[in-house]
Amino acid sequence: MNLLYAASGFLVGTLVGLTGVGGGSLMTPMLVLLFGIHPAVAVGTDLLYAAVTKSVGTAVHGFNHNIDWRVVRRLAIGSAPATALTLLGLYRLGMSSGVSSHLMSVVLGVAVLITAALLLARNWITGLVARRIGDAGPRHAAGLTVATGALLGVLVSLSSVGAGALGVSALVLLYPRLPTARIVGSDIAHAVPLTLIAGSGHWLLHSVDVPLLMSLLSGSIPGIIIGSLIAVRVPDRVVRPILACVLLAAGGRLVF
């Protein structure tokens, strides 16, 4: 077991438990930029890491009744087929090809930058969009939730980023009356099948590093338990700006 990888897993797992954000958006850039892992391997390994880590987070949030399973089902209806189609596209491109590697790096960087922007300006963005589209009715909310799931399926399969900040921000818009804790819990619960399907596809495409995965999980599992338990005690406004600044630096490095 690599202690540095385990410490990284603990840090990211704690942040995911606290905010629902920081899994792929922080772990994948960390593996690429700090540890020099190939982008395809970083994405594939992080997806399975996220599947196991968020399964533990889902158990904790479920025990605290912080999951709306109706919302989770709607997201999964969109994300499952979109993930499968994206993996098929990666298979046809070839995981080791220069085109595939460049595509994943660019999508990863852009997704990280969008995540950082959402963290910094979530209230302003959600307020602006809410004023323009109003409160979506039940039928519109259901359709838009499925569409959000499909978008997340594509982004997560290509970059392992999006299930956190993008998913949470979309749910805040679509379900403004849902408590924040249930939005975070529902987003984490949906990330489990999403990352499991995408990670299994990357496994079949031979882009998963098993020793690296085991080291990350040894730190992330206790981390997400701690983060999930103290989520209601730590103000989101304290964690969000720090995480956003880190993501801006990482995203800029990946894109430019």
Identify the pLDDT of residue 76.
Answer: 94
Q: How many Å apart are CA 146 and CA 76, to the nearest integer? A: 7
User: Residues 218, 46: contact at Cβ < 8 Å?
Assistant: no
Mean per-residue pLDDT, 221-225: 85
User: How many C-beta atoms lie closer than 10 Å to residue 233's C-beta?
Assistant: 7
For residue range 46-80, what is the model confidence (pLDDT) as tens digits? 889 888 878 887 888 888 888 999 999 999 999 99
CB-based burial, 167-198: b 16+ in 10 Å, e otherwise: bbbbbbbbbeeeeebbbbbbbbbbbbbbbbbb
Identify the pLDDT of residue 136.
Answer: 56
pTM: 0.76
Mean per-residue pLDDT, 209-235: 83
Residue 233 has pLDDT above 80, yes or no: no
For residue range 88-128, what is the model confidence (pLDDT) as tens digits? 888 887 766 566 666 777 777 777 777 777 767 766 766 66
Identify the pLDDT of residue 168.
Answer: 78
Mean per-residue pLDDT, 198-215: 90
Residue 175 has pLDDT above 60, yes or no: yes
User: Residues 189, 58: contact at Cβ < 8 Å?
Assistant: yes
Q: How many Å apart are CA 70 and CA 77, to the nearest integer? A: 11
For residue range 127-167, what is the model confidence (pLDDT) as tens digits? 666 655 555 566 788 898 999 999 999 988 887 776 776 78
| Residue with the two structure tokens 């299930």 | 163
Q: How many Å apart are CA 63 and CA 217, to the nearest integer? A: 21
User: Residues 173, 187: contact at Cβ < 8 Å?
Assistant: no
pLDDT band of 176, cuts 50, 70, 90? confident
Identify the pLDDT of residue 30.
Answer: 84
Identify the pLDDT of residue 127.
Answer: 66
Q: 3-state SS of the chain?
A: CCHHHHHHHHHHHHHHHHHCCCHHHHHHHHHHHCCCCCHHHHHHHHHHHHHHHHHHHHHHHHHCCCCCHHHHHHHHHHHHHHHHHHHHHHHHHCCCCHHHHHHHHHHHHHHHHHHHHHHHHHHHHHHHHHHHHCCCCHHHHHHHHHHHHHHHHHHHHHHCCCCCHHHHHHHHHHCCCCCHHHHHHHHHHHHHHHHHHHHHHHHHCCCCCHHHHHHHHHHHHHHHHHHHHCCCCCCHHHHHHHHHHHHHHHHHHHHC
Identify the pLDDT of residue 229.
Answer: 79
Identify the pLDDT of residue 135.
Answer: 56
Mean pLDDT of the chain: 80
Identify the pLDDT of residue 214.
Answer: 93
Identify the pLDDT of residue 242.
Answer: 65
Residues 6+ apart with CB under 8 A from 4: none
Identify the pLDDT of residue 228.
Answer: 74
Residue 44 has pLDDT above 60, yes or no: yes
